[in-house]
Structure 1
């Protein structure tokens, strides 16, 4: 039996211990090698971090159990490892760190605003955003696909929040500083911790100003929804509104930019992209596979509210438990040939958006955006090839790429598949 220090007995860690928090692990394929080993030998294991630590969960079934059982595994003490041992001051106020039933009351109005009907009304604007971003591919030169994709989420969620377009580049950079604070390219201060604090201060101050102005001129945007909704019979406080604006922005950035990057890095130079272009009926299944393959949010953290057992391992009440979504989405027990990018994969029970009550509220807008992107990309271009070494993000939060140089050529009109 494996136990944690909080149980008063010596911990037995997984064999061939790898520091899963180390951001350098995610610059290559080291994390997937470690997760593969853990799935086979220690699917639930104690991972020490100095004087503290956390329980690591790497299998698909166990991940689903943890994320679904909010009564046993609470979100309110923080959902990311950068809050390990610290707690989350937004707990109970921000939707992402509020447990049911209060979570549902916070989520309802925003869920309606992000319904498939509402999102479909934005499809043409999303298409214009996409074509503007990928248009330079037609020039035939080297194109940094990851840089273009980094701008995609803000072009969608920024418009839905009615944020000024001139602010989008700054907001994109600040958001990346939050999710990749260990990456020197996005560092705002001498250390990752100081970078996080600086990015948080700037983003929260920005949204405080936006919310103050928006209160005087309400519209049909997402911030106006937050300003006019009620929670437990009262309006949201200014702090709650700002916190949820930050959460919406962060979630959109994580879920939308990286699946196209992961797909391009894996498939450029292979016949798969042309195969996909020739079979537009595979658009949806290919998008879902890009989500599984990328698993852009690498982990979620929970804390146990009572003693619980997983895989025969006793986890004491109050301990942090980290679910590695990227590992669960490559679990051999849940997916046939999990290390193959299969545009025809069905069923595809990936958990890239999480599972349970905290299933990503922006999944609809992310899916519509990705479908529009891949449809335009595959219909408009062919002969995709890597034009240099991809540069991955140095982060244990987000799996993805900072730079992805590619080339392509416009697809002749006679070759364009019907959409």
Structure 2
């Protein structure tokens, strides 16, 4: 049976998707939402079913907003094509490289942007003035964009992400995404020749010099744009959301400080408010999922932010609790498409930024005069986090 939920609006989802998702999980866990033009998959077990069955639930969606905004990246491919593209990244993003190479760069970048943040004085916005430039400069170093700075990456990332989530088909959003698309291509063209002369440990250098015949330059362009999107917004949003959650809960913050539970604070944060809130899939055949019969070609919105608050899996799911029993969350996706940058995010946020922020600013607190704000459902994160110390 097909279920519709016409009363759900994109504005409602962006403002606070969690009550909507809770209602859908209870009443119609796989439900067609006309405003988004797709069936929402809201329960943990159904999301796992989708992730584990790519033959039925394809990532290669027709009419994909991500393809339009960023090109046809590996994120919108199925195996074996996806596996070929993913292998092209080599070991650059894997835990050993993150530990031996990139963590040192992240520590240097922390010092730079912490100094700039504190120079602004109490009342600065932790999202705009620290988390965003810190995450962007970290990614710039990993990718190897020698001919750009962190402000370029921030602009590219946000405008292309806005395109990926442009379900309202706003022409202005498409124009800005297209401009960034072309700027990334131009910057990459400049780097190809340079990296062939003087390579380094960055991802672009690896892609240019590895020379896989199965990976075309068009593939590399799209994959890099996809990485620019997720590689900034995930650590930025995880960092700022975790700081907000801990400042709202001084008892948990005291325990995290005393016991060094920064990794636990990070993992609970991305469960509680998954930065990548929704990702698309498309059915390749008629199939039943969550009690709903889906036709072949049905477009799905797989809601990680809903699955991570499923009452059947997580006790008191709407509460932030660093002492929560360990249950695998789905914030980094699952199956073949598990996020390749997960270790980058964990290292720069949980191992470096969180402990150092709270160590250097023991009096860090929320600004009582200006409220913190969060928004989004395709991508969920803090839009403002004014703080004092």
- Structure-to-structure mapping, 1:286-297, within 5 angstroms: 286-297=265-276
Kept in 1, the 8 Å contact 2:13–2:20? The answer is: no
Q: Which of 293, 307, 314 pairs up with 1:314?
A: 293
Counterpart of 2:22 in structure 1 is 36
Counterpart of 2:334 in structure 1 is 355
Q: Which of 4, 7, 11 pairs up with 1:13?
A: 4
Kept in 2, the 8 Å contact 1:78–1:301? The answer is: no
Counterpart of 1:59 in structure 2 is 43
Distance 1:156 1:111 in 2: 19
Distance 1:194 1:104 in 2: 32
Distance 1:78 1:258 in 2: 29
Counterpart of 1:346 in structure 2 is 325
Distance 1:23 1:198 in 2: 26
Counterpart of 2:203 in structure 1 is 222
Kept in 2, the 8 Å contact 1:229–1:235? The answer is: no
Counterpart of 1:398 in structure 2 is 379
Kept in 2, the 8 Å contact 1:158–1:165? The answer is: no
Q: Using structure 1 for the length normalisation, give the TM-score.
A: 0.83
Distance 1:87 1:169 in 2: 23
Alignment partner of 1:105 is 2:77: no
Alignment partner of 1:335 is 2:314: yes
Kept in 2, the 8 Å contact 1:262–1:290? The answer is: yes
Give, in angstroms, the shift of residue 246 of structure 1.
1.1
Alignment partner of 1:153 is 2:135: yes
Give, in angstroms, the shift of residue 340 of structure 1.
1.2
Gaps of 5+ in 2: none
Counterpart of 1:75 in structure 2 is 59
**Number of equivalences:** 378
Closer, same or farther: CA 34–111 of 1 in aligned 2, 3 Å: farther
- Structure-to-structure mapping, 1:3-402, within 5 angstroms: 12-14=3-5, 17-19=7-9, 22-23=10-11, 25-27=13-15, 29=16, 31-49=17-35, 53-77=37-61, 82=65, 90-91=71-72, 94-121=73-100, 122-135=102-115, 136-137=117-118, 141-147=122-128, 148-164=130-146, 167-180=149-162, 191-229=172-210, 231=212, 234=213, 236-271=215-250, 272-280=252-260, 282-371=261-350, 372-387=352-367, 388-393=370-375, 395-402=376-383
Closer, same or farther: CA 369–87 of 1 in aligned 2, 3 Å: closer
Distance 1:235 1:68 in 2: 25
Gaps of 5+ in 1: 3-11, 184-188, 409-419
The RMSD of aligned alpha carbons is: 2.6
Partner SS, residue 177 of structure 2: helix
Q: Using structure 2 for the length normalisation, give the TM-score.
A: 0.89
